[in-house]
Amino acid sequence: MELIRHPSSPVLMPALASDWECYNVFNAGVLYDRGLFHMCYRAQGLDWVSRIGYAVSVDGIHWNRLQQPILTPADASDSRGVEDPRLVRLEGRYYMTYTAYGQRYLGEGEATHSGGGILPMVARSDNLINWEKLGPVVVGQDNKDHVLFPRRIGGRYALLQRPNRNIWIAYSDDLRHWAADDMHWILGPRSGDPCAWDSVSVGGNGVPIETDHGWLVFYHGYDEDRIYRQGLCLLDLEDPTRVIRRPHAPIFWPKELWELRGDVPNVVFSCANPVVAGTVYFYYGGADHVVGLATCSLDDALDFVLHAD
């Protein structure tokens, strides 16, 4: 199985007249709600600081975007940018997980330059425009690629994250406090296989998709050549640390010129895989420069993850 690129892709390009999104727009979180596609995307402009913009679409292909960012750096913890948003509607409200890139965060407004400057953050909103920051998931370590599950598991909120190039799960009662002793490893790079496409690093993509067979998770990885590819795995519904299936073959990799060449070459990186009318809309950053779209049917994705080697 291979995801199919949409003929209109890329679907979002830099706005050349803008000072904050004239260089790159990429790594977009997309949510389908009440008949509309909502996109929050990472943008870089003249100062190379990442901000998050907002766009809306009827068909998921043609987008109208706000002229100003909806989330910008606010203090030392995100002074170098806010990055890679992922969106979920959970218990009647919207939530965004994103990465704050700045100095090392110590808490209570204190920060230092001595490492640890990649901070996984959670925010919530009632309208997808105005966001309340709930705080970091962890402090003191570089951690990203974090995304919330769309419902509680065992009565608690659950979140995938990526410390040390592995995929872990964290739990919380209130989305503000995440116990360090209640974070559990799920899967890692296939480092013992020199032919594996995900032999060096793996991380989660968009919101896990709940199916009768388990949580369908799109994830990314790369090898020694740092070529980013995409794969699938299936996790148990009530115990997501149990990996039911993880096919060996990837489902997507760089091919187009704008995926092979850009701000960071050889990258297809996704933060969104909403399902609309049985179709998975797989939005991804192409070479950290533009937003692309590929699709597949949910049935085909499930058939692949259940039966592929």
Q: Provide the residue ranges of all domains of the chain, joining segments of one domain with +.
A: 4-307
Query: Token pair for residue 24?
Result: 């790159």
pLDDT at 55 over 80: yes
Task: Give the Å distances, CA to CA, from 15 to 61, 128, 268, 292.
Answer: 16, 21, 21, 15
Tell me the CATH architecture of domain 4-307.
5 Propeller (2.115)
- 36 has pLDDT over 70: yes
- Position 180 scores a pLDDT of 83
- Sign of the torsion angle spanned by Cα atoms 5, 6, 7, 10: negative
Please report the pLDDT score of residue 45 as a whole number.
Answer: 98
Average pLDDT, the chain: 94
Residue 114 and residue 143: Cα distance in Å, rounded?
15
User: Over 80: is that where the pLDDT of 12 sits?
Assistant: yes
Phi, psi of 286 (to 5 degrees): -100, 110
If pLDDT is split at 50, 70 and 90, which confidence band does 16 have?
very high
Query: Is the pLDDT confidence value at 209 over 70?
Result: yes
DSSP 3-state of 298: helix
pTM of the model: 0.95
> pLDDT grade, residue 49 (50/70/90)?
very high
pLDDT tops 70 at residue 115? no
pLDDT of residue 112: 46
Q: What is the pLDDT of residue 7?
A: 98
Instruction: Report how far apart, in Å, the C-alpha atoms of 44 and of each of 1, 50, 219, 302 are.
Output: 33, 5, 24, 35
Question: Which residue reads 């909120």 in tokens?
Answer: 157
User: What is the structure's pLDDT at 138?
Assistant: 84
Q: What is the mean pLDDT of residues 95-109?
A: 77
**Size (the chain), residues:** 309
Measured CA to CA, the distance from residue 63 to residue 272 in angstroms comes to 16
How much is the pLDDT for 272? 98
